[in-house]
Structure 1
């Protein structure tokens, strides 16, 4: 067994980051580990390059990484590859929490962090035995599903390799296809928001790589001609002392590409941190403000107030740092008026960009468990679980009101007037972002007219109406059919 192919399926719909494709790192890191141990590895990130089906069918094993919204496509790809006799394993947050569902579509499920077990797993595949000894593995034995004990979190983050992007189809010649390069400096988040699956997947203990390893990766990024960097952490400044040490080292070593990261409002309480962020070339921060409703902030377990949010916006703007504000709408304390107040807040506080997301019960979260217990899930078509579709019964709004008002709020923020406002202030970067948001919102609305009508129907009927599952893998199935016709599949394609 020498050739391993990884696949990261594309999302079922467009979103604000569609124009800036980048891998989610999981498959790249695992592939790098295997490559360093002598395996021939290729990774297909569909957001960057289409899957070459013939190449995939030459593999000795295929690994697929999936989040909830991409899981229907992941399962379809897995079933098609298995049909040709190639073993398939799936990992990622969704299957970590729903392994019994996943194992019906593949041969093996890897739950949790796979960095320290991927090599042992591949060697077990080569031997055809030893699966019982691999932590975090789900598989079938004699028709019975076996769930091995959970895998431990990776304690020494420096053991994780620097990602080799050359294994990604489309990135073999450098980073030019990625306008933004992800660099991971930590895992885990000490907070535990009720709708977030991060702590279930990576834990609440904040684990980070040494600044020397991060600097080495920044130097490599520079040497490869990389441009922007996105620090691929769930909370880049969770440990402010450590973040400040890293930023000082970046400045001292002149490794200061324009960078972005996810942070919390607490960064605004530390003037030294804000100064270092600006001097190290921080351009934009992504902040989960989540709500302007104090009661919603409490049930989300955000541990922040509306005053904290306003203070954070003011201080970041005073420091010359742009803000991408993320809001989650639809809690049991939210109303139509809450949504309208949210967009007014975003405009009043001059946020550069926003995402108004619909509260989504992702498997692995407390919110998912609550909605299941209360029988409030209206669909388990996972392709709709992208934070842009209503998939549960709201308390103080109809399905249609939550869906339509969220869409209207997005249109109001990314309006022609907002674009002109930024342009006349000569803020051309922000004007272009708002123009992009305007066009994307129009496209999303046109593509999802059917879903708006669906929410209107179930709102007026006062009951659930089954919605046909979205077709998320027809293109892949058609390409497999073409190969079957051309080569007598479903047997594995011959090398001859």
Structure 2
């Protein structure tokens, strides 16, 4: 069975020092970081579900919560990149590449800086991953992985989303569980990158998908609260009220963006 690691490096470069304010000393920065509102990057749980369906042995590591073990040999190592963590991702990519791993990169930074990212990996994944990640894994298994996969914005992609592998979260990571019910926003604010990422399309999972995810989360031990990672929970009134009905059948305290 092929093995895959889905990872999110820490932010702020090769040393992983996440500095909230350069005017504060390191001890105070670290204290606030420990007390802050932290959540595992939700995309790695979704991609983990797809990889498992394709027959891969899956490991995850959001470095804010657990170390990335470079002593383990993986067939594929995938990096979720944003600009504050990309230097650290490139550093890890070199290490795993030397060990013989196939390196793939996606995320916001790779999507917008693809020419830079391609110098550090074998494959770049541009855009949302429901379709292209599965295609990439199938191509890799047949020895025909391409150097670039691009998913065009699609209103249907969320209908193809499997239930994320929430069970991979450890006890600490379950204090705040990320859950996405929709993507996109009805607004076009100049300061926001949602439309450049997802296009002018609001789309949501159907109620059966959402209800199933809530059931899976409810079945886990040590569950704390929910963080709904939707770009704007109020984008679609019908979806919002249907979501409230589903959440009302559970006892979770939840947070959302609006």
TM above 0.5, yes or no, is: yes
* Gapped regions of structure 2 (runs ≥ 5): 13-17, 21-31
Higher-Rg structure is 1
Q: Give the counterpart of 1:50 among 57, 61, 67.
A: 67
Instruction: Please list the CA deviations of residues 188-236 of structure 1 after superposition, one character each: whole Å capped at 9, or x if unmatched.
Output: 1122222322221122211001122212222222221312111111101
Q: Give the counterpart of 1:235 among 222, 232, 235.
A: 232
SS of residue in 1 equivalent to 2:255: strand
TM-score under structure 2 length normalisation: 0.85
Residue 121 (structure 1) aligns with = 136
Q: CA deviation at 1:260?
A: 0.7
Q: Greater relative contact order: 1 or 2 (C-alpha under 8 angstroms, separation 6 or more)?
A: 2
Q: Give the counterpart of 1:111 among 123, 126, 129.
A: 126
SS of residue in 1 equivalent to 2:44: helix
CA-atom RMSD in angstroms: 2.1
Q: 1:185 to 1:262 in 2, by over 3 A?
A: same
Residue 214 (structure 2) aligns with = 218
Instruction: Please list the CA deviations of residues 74-119 of structure 1 after superposition, one character each: whole Å capped at 9, or x if unmatched.
Output: 1111122112222101000111011001111111111101211212
User: Is the contact made by 1:92 and 1:111 (CA closer than 8 Å) also made in structure 2?
Assistant: yes
* Gapped regions of structure 1 (runs ≥ 5): 137-149, 264-496
The ranges of structure 1 where at least 4 consecutive aligned residues each deviate by more than 6 angstroms after the TM superposition are: none
Residue 70 (structure 1) aligns with = 85
SS of residue in 2 equivalent to 1:69: helix
User: Is the contact made by 1:20 and 1:179 (CA closer than 8 Å) also made in structure 2?
Assistant: no
1:10 aligns with 2:10: yes
Residue 192 (structure 2) aligns with = 196
The total of aligned residue pairs comes to: 240
Q: 1:14 to 1:182 in 2, by over 3 A?
A: farther
Q: CA deviation at 1:256?
A: 3.5
Q: 1:256 to 1:243 in 2, by over 3 A?
A: farther
1:101 aligns with 2:97: no
Residue 203 (structure 2) aligns with = 207
Q: Per residue, is there more helix in 1 or in 2?
A: 1
Structure 1: how far apart are the matches of 2:134 and 2:220? 28
User: Is the contact made by 2:226 and 2:254 (CA closer than 8 Å) also made in structure 1?
Assistant: yes
SS of residue in 2 equivalent to 1:4: strand
Structure 1: how far apart are the matches of 2:115 and 2:213? 37
Residue 186 (structure 1) aligns with = 182
